[in-house]
Amino acid sequence: MIEEEVLELAAKELGVASIADKTRRNIVTGGRAAGRIAAARIRYWRVVMRGIRLFEPCGHLGKGFKSPGIFKTLERRSGLKAAILSDGVIRVGDKIAHQQGSHISHCAGWMNYDFGLHVPASSPTVKAEDLVRFAQQAEALGFYCLTLADHIVVREIFRAVPVIPSMGNIPAPVIISKR
Amino acid sequence: MGFLAGATKRIRFATSVMIAPYRNPIITAKMLSSLDVLSNGRVIVGLGVGWMKEEFESLQAPPFEDRARSPTSISKPLENFGQATSIFQWQVL
């Protein structure tokens, strides 16, 4: 989805009447809605969506619009990617409501999963400050939970596991838990 | 878990998983409920029957071979967790 206000401003900056049919977005929102609802759950009357990330202009845009300025014009305001969480029909004029922080447990699809990280607390080299940084980074990145194992016996052999650079140089296998 | 809960504000913490046969259910319920209240309700309890025989022997827990046969190995601790305190609510998923 993309904001009506952005489309109007971009068209003005580019000196054209409209770019609404060139952006390859599915929904135009009014009231500066798309930016504000990023990462929140959204309800269009009957349809529930979840904001995933803000778009940047992509290569397809150039194919439908010859002006090179369109990339610069839509930089950092090229709409919101959202996952559709429930069946339904979105009609022109439907109201948008925010459901930030709420849980919609009955919806189907992969967005019904919460993502957590397993705390590598049993690693022989881990330090307290590493664990605190790991937990705070996970929280800042929006992970749902941290999981901790319950063992008093630690195996001597550790298998290589994926490393997530933004979490620091700590082995961090990602787990998925179904709500 | 308590150490990291004190260093964060929103993220939840799950036991993945807590081995039920190792633990005294009343003491565990008290620990979990205290942690749940102090962390503002961010504790998720995952329970399992265990898989590492060495740990059962080290802790003098009920026989490893019986861990899944006994109907109380999970259900009784769960029940006790729930009954031990009125502020600790639990749900079987």
CB contacts, 8 Å: A145 with chain B:
11-14, 44
pLDDT in tens, B65-75: 887 765 455 55
On whether both A12 and A93 belong to a single domain, the answer is: yes
Which residue range is the domain that position B37 belongs to?
2-7+17-84
State percent of chain A over pLDDT 90.
Answer: 9
Cross-chain CB nearest to B4 (options A119, A144, A153): A119
pLDDT for the residue B79: 61
One domain for residues A86 and A120? no
Report residue A102 CA to chain centroid gap: 16
- Among A108, A133, A159, where does a domain finish? A108
C-alpha distances in angstroms, B11 versus A88, A142, A149, A179, B6? 32, 8, 17, 15, 11
- In angstroms, the separation between the Cα of residue A36 and the nearest Cα of chain B is 21
**How is residue A90 written in tokens?**
């979105």
Q: Cα–Cα distances in Å, from A173 out to A118, A158, B8?
A: 7, 13, 21
Residue B90 included in any domain? no
| φ and ψ of A178, to 5 deg | -85, 130
Query: Are the CB atoms for A71 and A56 separated by under 8 Å?
Result: no
- Point out the domain boundary residue: A80, A108, A136: A108
In a shared domain, residues A31 and A102: yes
Cβ-defined contact of A139 to B14 (cutoff 8 Å): no
Min Cα separation A30/chain B (Å): 31
A70 burial (CB, 10 Å; 0-12 / 13-18 / 19+) is buried
Residue B35, pLDDT above cutoff 50: yes
pTM over 0.90: no
| Residue appearing with tokens 């990339």 | A71
pLDDT at position A51 over 60: yes
Please count the structural domains in chain B: 1
Averaged over A26-42, what is the pLDDT?
A: 63
- Per the CB < 8 A criterion, the answer to whether A147 and A118 are in contact is yes
The domain boundary residue, chosen from A108, A125, A144: A108
- Tokens representing residue A64 in the block: 């439908």
Q: Do A147 and B16 touch (CB under 8 A)?
A: yes
Judged against a pLDDT cut of 70, whether residue B89 lies above it is answered with: no
Q: Is A153 on the interface with B (CB under 8 A)?
A: yes
> B93 in a domain, yes or no?
no
Cα distance between residue A156 and residue A164, in whole Å: 23
**CB–CB contact B12 A148 (8 Å):** no
Q: What is the pLDDT of residue A147?
A: 93
How many alpha carbons fall within 13 Å on the CB side of residue A51?
Answer: 25
- Candidate ranges A28-32, A68-72, B31-35; pick with highest mean pLDDT: B31-35
At residue A33, does pLDDT exceed 70?
no
CATH code, A14: 2.40.33.20
**A52-89 pLDDT, tens digit each:** 777 778 777 766 666 677 777 887 778 888 888 777 88
> Which residues does chain A have within 8 Å of residue B15's beta carbon, measured at their own beta carbons?
147-148, 150
pLDDT beyond 70 at A105: no
Residue A104 shares a structural domain with residue A141: no
Asked whether residue B52 is domain-assigned, the answer is: yes
Q: Which of B41, B44, B43, B61 is nearest to B52 (CA)?
A: B61
Backbone angles phi, psi at A159, to 5 degrees: -80, 150
Kindly determine whether residue B19 and residue A118, on different chains, have CB atoms separated by under 8 Å: no
Contacts of A116 in chain B (CB under 8 A): 12, 14
DSSP A41-83: EEEETTEEEEEEEE----HHHHHH---THHHHHTTT-S-EEEE
How high does pLDDT run on average in chain A? 71
The domain tally of chain A equals 2
In a domain, B47, yes or no: yes
DSSP A171: B
Which residues of chain B are within 8 Å of residue A177 when distances are taken between CB atoms?
A: 14
**Is residue A151 over pLDDT 50?**
yes
Residue A66: exposed, middle, or buried by beta-carbon count in 10 A (0-12, 13-18, 19+)?
exposed
Helices B25-38, B75-84: inter-axial angle, 10-degree rounding:
50
Q: What's the pLDDT score for residue B39?
A: 92
Of B4, B12, B15, the CB nearest to A132: B4
Which residue range is the domain that position A155 belongs to?
Answer: 113-178
